[in-house]
Amino acid sequence: MNFLQNLEKKKISKIFVLISIIYIVLTNVYFNFDQSLIFGAADGASYMQIRKNFPYFTENNYAITHNQRFLFPYIVGFFSSFLNLDHFIVYRILVIFLFIFLLFILNKNLNLIKIDELNKSIAFGLVIFNPYLIRYYLSLPTLINDLTFIISSQLILYGFFSKEKKICYLGLIFSFFSRQTGVFFLVTILINKIFFKEKSFFSKKELFITSILFLIIYYLNQYHANIASGGDTLSEHSAKNFGMM
């Protein structure tokens, strides 16, 4: 009897999630690229400029403040070139796939912490109906780096909950490429090691590998930023704009 009740609750939960997603998709506002720049995605102009350089590292002063976050706009450039599709459409398609993936990982995490179906439905509802998640990124898809950063946190949590360190590494790689603030995930892991020592999730060797991984990605991001900025650092570029150099 309990099994049948649980099965029924799971079906209701899935139907709720499906109907909620359909509602959001059908009632959302879909801006074009120019409108998105006005209504909250001014950074999208930089990301759109970066993807135009695919597959080359070339000078791109217009996007100087975001040149360290080149990977995901480059991926958009790859798919738009390969499929011969409009770049903004590719951004939106990728955002849809990323949201499906985010909900999939969220479901995995909720299962791992053994949350009941009612609370799981509430958790999904909070994510789906949050005005700054699905609605926001469907309307402003060029902000794909921010969405990828959110997904990276879920991947790291999934790695911890499932004891799958490879998933943690994948989440860390996503975070390092999507935003410079990904370094705080690494700092958190290091602090965890200091306080919990041998009980820490990562061994000293794995922490060393993670730190090397961060440095490689950091210098790759910086390498692109230096070329795209004409050899200027961000501070040098700002100084030139204010007539200090």
pLDDT value, residue 103: 94
pLDDT value, residue 240: 44
Output the 3-class SS for the chain: CHHHHHHHHHHHHHHHHHHHHHHHHHHCCCCCHHHHHHCCCCCHHHHHHHHHCCCCCCCCHHHHHHCCCCHHHHHHHHHHHHHCCCHHHHHHHHHHHHHHHHHHHHHHHHHHCCCCHHHHHHHHHHHHCCCCCHHHHHHCCCCHHHHHHHHHHHHHHHHHHHCCHHHHHHHHHHHHHHCHHHHHHHHHHHHHHHHHHHHCCCCHHHHHHHHHHHHHHHHHHHHHHHHHCCCCCHHHHHHHHCCCC
| pLDDT tens column, 193-226 | 888 887 888 888 889 999 999 999 999 888 877 8
pLDDT value, residue 204: 87
| pLDDT tens column, 29-87 | 999 999 998 888 888 888 887 777 776 666 665 555 677 788 888 888 888 888 888 88
Q: Please give the model's pTM, rounded to 2 decimal places.
A: 0.83
pLDDT value, residue 47: 82
What share of the chain has pLDDT > 90, as a percent? 44
